[in-house]
Amino acid sequence: MAWFEFLKLALFAITRNKTRAFLTMLGIIVGVGAVITMIGIGEGSKRASIALIQNMGSNMLTIFPGSGGNRFGPSAMGSADILLESDVALIQQELSESSVVAATQQVQTTRPIIFQNSNYVTQVQGTGPEFLAIRGWEVESGRFFTDSEVRGLAKVCVIGQTVKDNLFPNGEDPVGLTVRVGPLPFQIVGVLEKKGAGMWGDQDDLIVAPYTTVMRKIMGRDKIQRIMVSAQEGKADQAQAEVTALIRQRMKVAPKDDDPFQIRKQDDIVQMQTQQASILTALLAVAASISLVVGGIGISNIMLVSVTERTREIGIRRALGATRRSVLWQFLIEAVVLSLLGGIIGIGFAYSSVYILQKFQIPAVTESWAVALGLGFSGLVGVAAGFLPALKAAKLNVIDALRYE
């Protein structure tokens, strides 16, 4: 019998009892839809995390004291005063032609910011003019502070959008106005463009000021906490190695001794996030695939019932010349078609689910490979679920089948 005839028989058998067929496919529909949706959520989360990290400066390296702890989080920032302001000039002088674009000093603290009757606690970052280039940031209005203002310990600052919204809720232009950072008055000279969420919170919730002013007049210290470096495109690893060697040489660290500092590279964080997201995606897909197994059991059960109900039909077909193989293929193809139809409907269910998730600002995407995987698995489930019922139908004795009531 031609394959087209097998297909017509399968569709006829399925449409003969549409309600039962749909209920049988339901497990496959849910399973395929869940697998594609879960993979989409995992992949969407991975892309969103990578985008957030790259938004902080894709080629950025951060040097901070300490040789242990969690090197990927703020808690890893050591407290030993081993980094010098002059290290930045050394890095720029020695490595600008090989691997480094820019470098700047950095200190950080938290202080209340006061403007008239408004009081807001935020992060105060002290840095240099290279901050914008390293972080890939732009000034929305006003300007950034200059080298001369850094050297002169000027009390000027640039604020993020979140600080602006909280201190100036009426929408007035803050450029030129004066706020108090702790006990000191600072003139706002610029407003940073909106950056959005980052790895450790709202990137726009900050005030940026000359590091010399923040370090000496607000924090009361004479050493920097960190150094930010921007590597040349594609040379982050080279920059990390060269900066490490340069700082070790300046600190006169013995070859056998560990580095008394760490360098956090954005690429390392991207790799870590990618690995974690891949594991999460795999776990979600495995959990969702349980529905496919349940759906396959449902198809196998219904096909066994169908074989019992159609025993006399099988006997008549065998008596008219149908071979055991043709009966086997008839029922096997019917199970596969039933499963594939469920898979196709499940794909539509997955697309709808992803669309709804995106409307609720949940990072989710529809991956073409996940769609192909879901449809392929639904076909395999159909083969596995339909084989035993099809084999049972093919082995029926013709005489017993014809006598069956």
Q: Do 18 and 341 contact (CB within 8 A), yes or no?
A: no
pLDDT computed for residue 45 by the predictor: 81
| Residues 76-105 as b or e (16 or more Cβ within 10 Å = b) | bbbeeebbbeebbebbbebbeeebbbbbbb
Co-location of 47 and 92 in the same domain: no
The helix or strand, by DSSP H or E, that contains position 186, with its residue range, turns out to be strand 184-192
In a domain, 374, yes or no: yes
Domain that residue 172 falls in: 81-259
Sort 146 into a burial class: Cβ within 10 Å, 0-12 / 13-18 / 19+.
middle
- Please state, in angstroms and rounded to a whole number, the distance separating the CA atoms of residues 197 and 54: 12
Could you say which residues of the chain have pLDDT below 50?
69-78
Domain boundary among 216, 231, 259: 259
Domain boundary among 232, 259, 286: 259
Residue 134, token pair as written in the block: 């390293």
Based on its alpha-carbon atoms, the radius of gyration of the chain, rounded to whole angstroms, reads 33
Co-location of 247 and 294 in the same domain: no
- Please state, in angstroms and rounded to a whole number, the distance separating the CA atoms of residues 192 and 232: 24
Q: Greatest CA separation found in the chain?
A: 105
- Please state, in angstroms and rounded to a whole number, the distance separating the CA atoms of residues 229 and 130: 9
Q: Per the structure, how many domains does the chain have?
A: 2
The DSSP call for residue 226 is E
Co-location of 253 and 368 in the same domain: no
Co-location of 335 and 231 in the same domain: no
* 3-class DSSP string for 143-171: CCCCHHHHHCCCCEEEECHHHHHHHCCCC
Co-location of 249 and 110 in the same domain: yes
Q: What are phi and psi of 227, to 5 degrees?
A: -130, 130
pLDDT computed for residue 57 by the predictor: 58
Residue 308, token pair as written in the block: 């019992």
In a domain, 61, yes or no: no
102: number of CA atoms within 13 Å, CB side? Answer: 15
In a domain, 64, yes or no: no
Q: Do 20 and 302 contact (CB within 8 A), yes or no?
A: yes
User: Which residues, 6 or more positions from 271, have their beta carbon under 8 angstroms from its beta carbon?
Assistant: none
In terms of DSSP bridges, do strands 60-65 and 178-181 run parallel, antiparallel, or are they unpaired?
A: unpaired
Co-location of 223 and 135 in the same domain: yes
- Please state, in angstroms and rounded to a whole number, the distance separating the CA atoms of residues 277 and 283: 10
Residue 1, token pair as written in the block: 């019998």
Sign of CA dihedral 78, 84, 89, 94: negative
In a domain, 344, yes or no: yes
Query: C-alpha distances in angstroms, 144 versus 122, 138, 216?
Result: 19, 9, 20
Which one, of 104, 125, 103, lies nearest residue 186 by Cα? 125
In a domain, 298, yes or no: yes
Determine the 3-state secondary structure of 126 from DSSP.
strand
In a domain, 156, yes or no: yes
Co-location of 111 and 167 in the same domain: yes
Q: What are phi and psi of 160, to 5 degrees?
A: -85, 170
Q: Do 219 and 181 contact (CB within 8 A), yes or no?
A: no
Co-location of 237 and 278 in the same domain: no
Query: C-alpha distances in angstroms, 258 versus 66, 70, 86, 117, 252?
Result: 10, 16, 22, 51, 12
- Please state, in angstroms and rounded to a whole number, the distance separating the CA atoms of residues 308 and 110: 76
In terms of DSSP bridges, do strands 139-142 and 100-115 run parallel, antiparallel, or are they unpaired?
A: unpaired
Co-location of 132 and 234 in the same domain: yes
In a domain, 74, yes or no: no
Co-location of 224 and 343 in the same domain: no
Co-location of 235 and 88 in the same domain: yes
Residue 81, token pair as written in the block: 């005063």
User: Which residues, 6 or more positions from 244, have their beta carbon under 8 angstroms from its beta carbon?
Assistant: 259, 263
Domain boundary among 197, 230, 259: 259
H-state helical runs in 266-323? 266-309, 311-319
pTM tops 0.75: no
pLDDT computed for residue 285 by the predictor: 81
Co-location of 173 and 287 in the same domain: no
In a domain, 70, yes or no: no
